[in-house]
Amino acid sequence: MEITPKAVMELREKTGAGMMDCKRALQDAGGDFQKAITILREKGLSQAAKRAGKEAKEGSIFSYIHPGAKIGVILELNCETDFVARTADFQTLGKELTMQIAAASPLVVHRDNIPADVVAREKEIYAKQAEGSGKPANVIDKIVEGKLEKFYHEACLLDQPYIKNDEETVAQIVTATIAKLGENIIVRRFTRFQLGEDLS
């Protein structure tokens, strides 16, 4: 079937993918628009996975002060080249992440950053909470793992539900930007300040 330039443009506007990639996806999908979007997303995710090992030393420092000036965030976001660091998509991601950190108050970037003794302590607390339920040990283990996952989703930035669309995680938002820009992107570190905290 014939793929019209209008359909290609619509797909490009919807996904941000290149013109030839959009045309090819529509051809592979037999003109089915939604299927073409899925093809592009799958292709982007595989490209993002390939970039994951690439060194990322360029990037930007982002800052955000929440209205009212009671919460502030500083974030280091890295990519492979200075060219990508200056793109609108990279800059937008950095701003979105600082707002995520301000709103959702994560403790660390990803779960590997949580010390083993903290994870062990959390598990112990959850196990003690579950022991009084009278459930068998294997069920208690599943309850503990479930609560630990919930803890990760609250404490780890990349595991958190994205504040603008809670059906996606922050990690998925970062991966989508990697796929779009064709470079590895790493959330290196952040600091979140809240007026008066730790002063009591």
* DSSP assignment string, 128-192: HHHHTTT--HHHHHHHHHHHHHHHHHHHBGGGSEETTEEEEEHHHHHHHHHHHHTS--EEEEEEE
Q: Identify the CA nearest to 50 among candidates 183, 172, 169.
A: 183
Residue 8 is predicted with a pLDDT of 79
Residue 199: inside a domain, yes or no?
no
25: domain CATH number is 1.10.8.10
Residue 143 is predicted with a pLDDT of 85
CB within 8 Å of 127: residues ≥ 6 apart: 140, 144
Neighbours of 193 (CB within 10 A): 12
Distance separating alpha carbons of residues 125 and 111, to the nearest angstrom: 18
Residues 99 and 62 in one domain: yes
pTM over 0.75: no
Q: Identify the CA nearest to 90 among candidates 102, 101, 75.
A: 75
Residue 40: inside a domain, yes or no?
yes
Residues 120 and 145 in one domain: yes
Cα→Cα distances 95→62, 141, 175, Å = 7, 39, 16
Render pLDDT for 116-154 as a digit per residue (tens, 0 to 9).
Answer: 998 889 888 888 887 777 777 777 788 888 898 999 999
Number of independent structural domains in the chain: 3
Residue 67 is predicted with a pLDDT of 93
Render pLDDT for 151-170 as a digit per residue (tens, 0 to 9).
Answer: 999 999 999 999 999 899 99
The residue segments making up the domain with residue 78 are 58-110+156-194
Residue 200: inside a domain, yes or no?
no
Dihedral over alpha carbons 42, 168, 191, 117 (to 10 degrees): -90
Report the chain's terminal Cα–Cα distance, integer Å. Answer: 70
- Last residue of some domain: 30, 51, 72? 51
